[in-house]
A and B are shown apart, each in its own frame.
Chain A
Amino acid sequence: MAIVQVRTFARYAELLGDPVGVEIELPTTVANLIVALRRMPGGDRLPNQPLVAVDHAVAGTAAVVSLGSSVALLPPLAGG
């Protein structure tokens, strides 16, 4: 098992803290990481499929998270 440090922002940072450490076996998928995040305190208020970025790019649920990946949980974007 490893600890993945997930950056969170805006409302998700209020729910989970920033960063949030997720204990999970690596490599894994974004889908598995979301499941683990939803089990954490405050995670039950996340949507079923929140937006996730891996290495600064939006990643689908099948994307791989490896040791050293930069992972972020992104609330609905609201720039402009």
Chain B
Amino acid sequence: MTTAPFLTNRPLVASELERDLATPADGAVVSFAGVVRDHHEGRTVVGIEYSAYAEMAEQVIAAIVLETEARWSVRVGLRHRVGALAIGDIAVVVTATAAHRDAAFAACRHLIDEVKARVPIWKHERYADGTTAWVDPTAPGGVSR
């Protein structure tokens, strides 16, 4: 597994995690990269500022990593950006390596789903019309009003 800090303000590259994790015993390497896209709920996005409750986020991610490795026979890694990101930047990358693909795919999916559900991280979107909003997956329209 990769170790803390899991949050970073440096650009992410999936291949770095894959290189750090893979061993000669691994027949499968699965990575997922979450990328900043240029639209949200019909609005044109020009950038996103990520912020986090870093002390808690690091602990929660460490727990997710450990529980994922315990559930499947995999080695996993995760990095999440904080700070200002542009369209096309990688916001989060998760990687799972295993002897076989089924475990690697399942672990990778579990990792990103749990990160989105449990890690205290927030997105502040900037739009082409000059306005901004906090992303709120629970709100109608996907942003806080």
Contacts and interface: CB of A to CB of B under 8 A. Distances in A.
Nearest to A75: B122
Contact of A11 (B34, B53, B144): B144
Interface residues of B, number: 31
Contact of B139 (A9, A56, A76): A76
Q: How large is the interface on A (under 10, 10 to 19, 20 to 34, 35 or more residues)?
A: 10 to 19
B87 interface: no
Main secondary structure of the interface of B (DSSP, over half): mixed
Nearest to B57: A79
A79 B80 contact: yes
Interface in A23-69: 53, 56-58
A78 interface: yes
Given A11-B144, A56-B59, A78 B53 contact: no
